Structure 1
Amino acid sequence: MTWTSQFGKGSGWLLQKIVNGLAISKISPNVLTFIGLIINIVAALFFGFARGDHAVRYFFYAGLIIIGAGVFDMVDGRVARQTNQVSVFGAFFDSVIDRYSDVCIFFGLLVFYARGNRLFYVGLVAFVMTASLMVSYTRARAEALIGSCKVGFMERPERIVCVILGALCNRWGVMAPALWVLALFSTITVIHRIRYTYNETERRKRLNLA
């Protein structure tokens, strides 16, 4: 067994223990989802208030806080399934709160670059924020038309990991290239989903005409 598989097994065991504890507490999964948003807002504040000598430290703290928020993002659905609280509204609420969490994080970065008068990166963060939302929007609209659209690489977990790496390693200036990676691959994912939806709708049109 490799060390990566051992780590995955150990993480899964720990995550299940957390889920078991939360299930016993009878806390609503929607509350867990909302707590994740609050934690991400705290991370955004660390990004926004990072300045001068403490910027690297604040970015590092923000990265750790986003990891904490990710735990809530991972357990809310599991708690819902374990406590038989799965609902259509719960899935909808989780999706909406995820979008707010994404915007909060990128808004914090936008404020950081704006306070430093780095206008180019203000524009880049704004573009990344828009592209990230479009990744989710194109999937939602496509699935309303064709049922499933899970193509594309830059899903939300990949985006969050990219931001975390940028934050934790910003001592070496990693956040800037992380934003470029997000901008590029989010845009590619949007284009991929547009093309996939076009091909799928055209295929169905031909089938209906046949």
Structure 2
Amino acid sequence: MTWTNAFGKGSGWLLNKIVNGLALTRISPNALTFIGLLINIVAALFFGFARAQNADRMFVYAGLTIIGAGLFDMVDGRVARLTNQVSVFGAFFDSVMDRYSDVAIFFGLLVFYARGNRLFYVGLTAFVMTACLMVSYTRARAEALIGSCKVGFMERPERIVCVILGALANHWGVMAAALWVLAFFSTVTVIHRIRYTYLETERMKMLELKRG
């Protein structure tokens, strides 16, 4: 067994123990989802209250806090399945809270750059925040029309990992690079989903004409 396999099995074992423990408390999966949002707001506060003198330390705190929030994001669905509390509303609520979490994190970064008079990065962060929301919106809107639209690279897990890496390695300027990566790949993902939806709707139109 390689060390990566051992790490994966160990992580899975620990995650299952956490899920089982939470299931025993009978806590609502929606409550876990909301707690994840609150933790992400704490991360946003670390970003927003950072100053040039302590930015590296505050960004590390923010990155670690986002990792903690990610734990709740991983377990809420598992707890729902284990306790037979899976619901359509739960999926909807989870998606809405994810969007609020994303906005909170990027808003914290926006405030940091605004307080430092780094107006270019204020604009870049605002663009990234919008692009990330559009990634989710295009999928939701497309799936209301064509059933499934999972194309594109920059999904939420990839976005969160990018932000975490940027925060933990901000001392070396990685957060600025992370924002550029997010801006580019989120935009590419939106374009990909628009094109995919267009092709699928045209295909559906042709099928309808053939049936007619």
TM-score tier, shorter chain, comes to over 0.9
Partner of 1:171: 171
Per the TM alignment, residue 97 of structure 1 is displaced from its structure 2 partner at its CA by 0.2
SS in 2 for 1:149: coil
Which amino acid letter does the alignment assign opposite residue 198 of structure 2?
Y
Per the TM alignment, residue 54 of structure 1 is displaced from its structure 2 partner at its CA by 1.1
Which amino acid letter does the alignment assign opposite residue 160 of structure 1?
I
Query: For the residues of structure 1 that align with 2:140 and 2:198, how far apart are their CA atoms?
Result: 14
Partner of 1:62: 62
Query: For the residues of structure 2 that align with 1:193 and 1:7, how far apart are their CA atoms?
Result: 35
Q: What are the residue-to-residue correspondences of 1:71-110 with 2, within 5 Å? A: 71-110=71-110
Partner of 1:45: 45
Partner of 1:160: 160
Partner of 2:139: 139
Query: For the residues of structure 1 that align with 2:182 and 2:2, how far apart are their CA atoms?
Result: 30
Per the TM alignment, residue 93 of structure 1 is displaced from its structure 2 partner at its CA by 0.2
Per the TM alignment, residue 4 of structure 1 is displaced from its structure 2 partner at its CA by 2.3
SS in 2 for 1:52: coil
Per the TM alignment, residue 183 of structure 1 is displaced from its structure 2 partner at its CA by 0.3
Decide whether the 8 Å contact of 2:52 with 2:116 is kept in 1. no
Query: For the residues of structure 1 that align with 2:178 and 2:88, how far apart are their CA atoms?
Result: 34
Partner of 2:127: 127
Identity in percent = 85
Which amino acid letter does the alignment assign opposite residue 76 of structure 1?
D
Decide whether the 8 Å contact of 2:169 with 2:175 is kept in 1. yes
- Report how many aligned residue pairs link the two structures: 210
Per the TM alignment, residue 10 of structure 1 is displaced from its structure 2 partner at its CA by 1.3
Which amino acid letter does the alignment assign opposite residue 150 of structure 2?
K
Query: RMSD between aligned alpha carbons?
Result: 0.6
Query: For the residues of structure 2 that align with 1:196 and 1:190, how far apart are their CA atoms?
Result: 10
Gaps of 5+ in 2: none
Which amino acid letter does the alignment assign opposite residue 96 of structure 1?
V
Per the TM alignment, residue 3 of structure 1 is displaced from its structure 2 partner at its CA by 2.4
Per the TM alignment, residue 12 of structure 1 is displaced from its structure 2 partner at its CA by 1.1
Which amino acid letter does the alignment assign opposite residue 23 of structure 2?
A
Per the TM alignment, residue 11 of structure 1 is displaced from its structure 2 partner at its CA by 1.0
Decide whether the 8 Å contact of 2:166 with 2:178 is kept in 1. yes
Query: For the residues of structure 2 that align with 1:53 and 1:22, how far apart are their CA atoms?
Result: 40
TM-score (norm 2): 0.98
Query: For the residues of structure 2 that align with 1:92 and 1:2, how far apart are their CA atoms?
Result: 39
Gaps of 5+ in 1: none
Q: Structure 1, residues 36-55: CA drift from partner, whole Å, max 9, x if none? A: 00000000000000102211
Query: For the residues of structure 2 that align with 1:29 and 1:130, how far apart are their CA atoms?
Result: 28
Query: For the residues of structure 1 that align with 2:71 and 2:145, how far apart are their CA atoms?
Result: 32
Query: For the residues of structure 1 that align with 2:132 and 2:26, how far apart are their CA atoms?
Result: 33
Per the TM alignment, residue 6 of structure 1 is displaced from its structure 2 partner at its CA by 2.1
Q: What are the residue-to-residue correspondences of 1:9-24 with 2, within 5 Å? A: 9-24=9-24
Which amino acid letter does the alignment assign opposite residue 145 of structure 1?
L
Which amino acid letter does the alignment assign opposite residue 52 of structure 1?
A
TM-score (norm 1): 0.99
Query: For the residues of structure 1 that align with 2:33 and 2:196, how far apart are their CA atoms?
Result: 31
SS in 1 for 2:54: helix
